[in-house]
Structure 1
Amino acid sequence: MITYDQIFEKNRQWVANNQASNANFLEHLAADQKPDYLYIGCSDSRVTAEELMGVAPGEVFVHRNIANMVINIDLNAMSVIEYAVAHLGVKHIVVCGHYGCGGVKAAMQAKDLGIMNPWLRNIRDVYRLHHTELDKIEDTTLRYDRLVELNVQEQCVNVIKTAVLQQMYLKNGYPTVHGWVFDLKTGLLKDLKLDFEHILHDIQEIYNLSDQPMYAEGNSPAQEIGQLAKTDAQR
């Protein structure tokens, strides 16, 4: 385990190594960020966004909390999404969970966890929504793994419910929302391949927060955006 004082030496080595491979490293680091990705992940110390994605500083905007939750009254998460979508113009939003998540396991324990209770109850709500499927899985580890996947799916839905996502997607055709799971045993990312447009259509009737429908039935996003641009030009 690294000591406190060693952290600063590691930092100096990090700077030296990056400058050795790229003379403009610090100049690029100090420039305005223009990431294409917003990553919403778990606070688990083993799951670091930049490393598992293989990206450099400035390429991904990161928000992390216990069990990668997107809760509509969490001003931290909502502010991150608003800033990333409306001001940074990210093209992809990733919700990334991981197998063996302590938050998911803790949520399913019959135990008082104090101030964590209301936070973890949101994971219990995911279980309640999918209990028919989950209760059929006899192996406890496999059941938790599936709950990790379903929790990612539901948090992606929560992102899609936000006004800024709906409005910017209608305007630009992005960002799109993706669900991933990181496998600590293999080190590999798993794309859950969520059908973003289907989910968007499915929840639109209740959760639509844009001034008009996402896009007309039968139209693709590109067709709808093109039609909106044509309409604006005629005004």
Structure 2
Amino acid sequence: MNSRAFSTLQRSSITKLIFQAKPIRIHRGYTASLLNNIRKQQFPPNIKYVHNSPKPVPALSLPEQILKYNKEWAKNKTKADSSYFENMTAVQTPEILWIGCSDSRVCSDVLTGSNFGRVFTLRNVGNSLSTTDTNSLAVIQFAVETLKIKHIVIVGHTFCGAMEAAFKYNSLNGPISDWIKPIADLYNKNKPTIDALPTHKQQNQALSELNVKRNVDIINSLDIIKKTKKSGKELNIHGWIYDIENGSLQDLKVS
């Protein structure tokens, strides 16, 4: 009998012995033919228990990942400074109101390297203000009257989706259409100048800068701002643009 035939007979015998045995634990050490049967889930009646590797743990969903990260973050903060969160319970004393875009790439605390409690923030689509928007007006009033902030910064950014929406305003509907309309009107008013720019990136940025200036004008027109400035209290208005490509903030020199 040659070695190949013996090998085949050997595998057959081993497989037969295993199938005739009492209920057993099957693992990778058994023959290729048996493993093939295992993969196909084909077992004689006396094979009642097949050992499988532990099922892989399902990947965490994004909300679960965030909650897990939060626990680790809080633990590490406390480990580094046991009084960190206790100190956070003190009254906040920010000096800046940041009015920025809701874009997930433009987070004020991250791009300014600020610690908690330094920047009071209002974010919405297109870093825009409206004299009929109670939410925005309430934030500004609270910032000026209660927090006594000294600077209000309107921050636009490059590659802004709100500017893209303004370019395609006729395709919009619902609440976003109402919200973007002032930006679309701004684009139409400056369309020849904006459209003459050589790249779409430049067109988007140009409209974003004009929108910052528009909102600086709205801020300055509010009674609460006029009243505060007239009283002699320090209150400065700024217009900035954030460049997503290089992470830099640029002062547009408007106030």
TM-score range, shorter chain: 0.7 to 0.9
- CA 1:111–1:56: 2 relative to 1, 3 Å: same
Instruction: Confirm or deny that 1:93 pairs with 2:186.
Output: no
- Which residue in 1 is equivalent to 2:190? 130
- Which residue in 1 is equivalent to 2:109? 50
Instruction: Confirm or deny that 1:191 pairs with 2:254.
Output: no
Out of 177, 202, 208, the position equivalent to 2:237 is 177
Residue 145 of structure 1 deviates from its aligned partner by 1.0
How many percent of aligned residue pairs carry the same amino acid? 32
Out of 4, 10, 21, the position equivalent to 2:69 is 10
Structure 2 portions without partners, runs of 5+: 1-59
SS across alignment from 1:96: strand
Give me the TM-score of the superposition, normalised by structure 1. 0.77
User: How far apart in 2 are the matches of 1:133 and 1:121?
Assistant: 19
Conserved? CA contact 2:169–2:177, under 8 Å: no
- Which residue in 2 is equivalent to 1:121? 181
Out of 31, 54, 74, the position equivalent to 2:90 is 31
User: How far apart in 1 are the matches of 2:169 and 2:122?
Assistant: 29
Q: Rg: which structure is higher?
A: 2
User: How far apart in 2 are the matches of 1:120 and 1:178?
Assistant: 22
User: How far apart in 2 are the matches of 1:117 and 1:63?
Assistant: 20
Question: Which residue identity is paired with 2:190?
Answer: H
Out of 186, 204, 225, the position equivalent to 1:165 is 225
Residue 132 of structure 1 deviates from its aligned partner by 4.9
Question: Which residue identity is paired with 1:123?
Answer: I
- Which whole-Å deviations, capped at 9, do the CAs of 1:65-97 have from their partners, x for residues lacking one? 100001111111111111101111100101111
SS across alignment from 1:134: helix
Residue 166 of structure 1 deviates from its aligned partner by 1.1
- CA 1:28–1:134: 2 relative to 1, 3 Å: same
Give me the TM-score of the superposition, normalised by structure 2. 0.72
Q: Cα RMSD (Å) of the superposition?
A: 1.8
User: How far apart in 1 are the matches of 2:65 and 2:203?
Assistant: 40
Conserved? CA contact 2:169–2:180, under 8 Å: no
- Which whole-Å deviations, capped at 9, do the CAs of 1:84-116 have from their partners, x for residues lacking one? 011111001011111000011111115332111
| Matched length | 195
- Which residue in 2 is equivalent to 1:204? none
SS across alignment from 2:224: helix
Structure 1 portions without partners, runs of 5+: 197-235
- CA 1:36–1:8: 2 relative to 1, 3 Å: same
Question: Which residue identity is paired with 1:15?
Answer: A
User: How far apart in 2 are the matches of 1:150 and 1:173?
Assistant: 28
SS across alignment from 2:171: coil
Instruction: Confirm or deny that 1:70 pairs with 2:133.
Output: no
User: How far apart in 2 are the matches of 1:24 and 1:170?
Assistant: 41
